[in-house]
Amino acid sequence: MSLPGKVTIYEVGPRDGLQNEAASVPTDVKAEFVRRLLAAGLPVVEATSFVHPKWVPQLADAAELMTALGEEGRDLPVLVPNERGLDRALELGLKHIAIFGSATETFAQRNLNRSLDEQFAMFEPTVRRAREAGLDVRAYVSMCFGDPWEGEVPVGQVVEVGKRLFDLGASELSLGDTIGVGTAGQVTALVDAFVAAGMRREQLAMHFHDTYGQALANAYSALQSGITTFDASAGGLGGCPYAKSATGNLATEDLVWMLTGLGIEHGVDLTAVVETSVWIAEQLGRPSPSAVVRALAQSPT
């Protein structure tokens, strides 16, 4: 299959990128981070999560952040774990939510406090009510390539879980390599399996982590398989509080650099994103893990 002519980058830095930070990031810094990313041309920026502060303290200011972002914030997606999270999103007049399921039993228990099957009963009323209220719903499925407790995850199991989540009423399904163990061949096999099960490529997105340095190679493999939506995090920030082996996300800048080289349209201002990643790295007190950010930030002017 020829490569797509245009790709959508779904920026997850403010939510997935910051959620694992130990030191509290001020709300005004988060708001500025979101605004800078939008100004850089990123078409979708996932702002935060309405998870209980006990589980992800960094995002305890979700309502304050969305309020600070004002009207602009209403169009930004937020993660909601359940109906209570949806209630908070509805109270703020938000238009886009995401749910976050698991492809494995162990991670479902650890991350959702539900069994693999019980998660669907938890998500069903959340998605139904969101759709009835006119909201768009995205579904994430994590641990699609490997699980730190269960090892390699069978493709059939991932497809079954993913389709069940999507069929609740989602418009897009993001397939997550949560601990970054996936390889290019596995990406091809997983996309093919979902297509064989009746899903269209444009309904799928890919969410790669770079634990083994494979995120960019996996993204290229997904491009070859016809995928046109990719999750990425500015500066490669990110991790998962419930899977310690999950390191940084695919860096937005690294993805943009590759797409530009391939002649694929993405609409993102690379210089502006690099400047934003350098800025947020300064706020966090450490250098960016993105190779492209490091290279461009050190280049002579």
CA distance 220 to 81: 31
Nearest to 77, CA basis, from 162, 4, 11, 9: 11
Q: Active site includes 144? A: no
Catalytic one of 240, 259, 278, 293: 240
Tokens of 116: 């693999």
CA distance 112 to 124: 14
> How many CB atoms lie under 10 A from the CB of residue 54?
7
CA distance 126 to 225: 32
Nearest to 99, CA basis, from 119, 72, 118, 117: 119
- Give start and end residues of each alpha helix (H) in 167-269: 184-196, 215-224, 252-261
Nearest to 33, CA basis, from 252, 299, 241: 252
List Cβ neighbours of 219 (8 Å cut-off, separation of 6 or more).
Answer: 206, 208, 230, 250, 255, 258
Which positions are annotated as active-site residues? 240
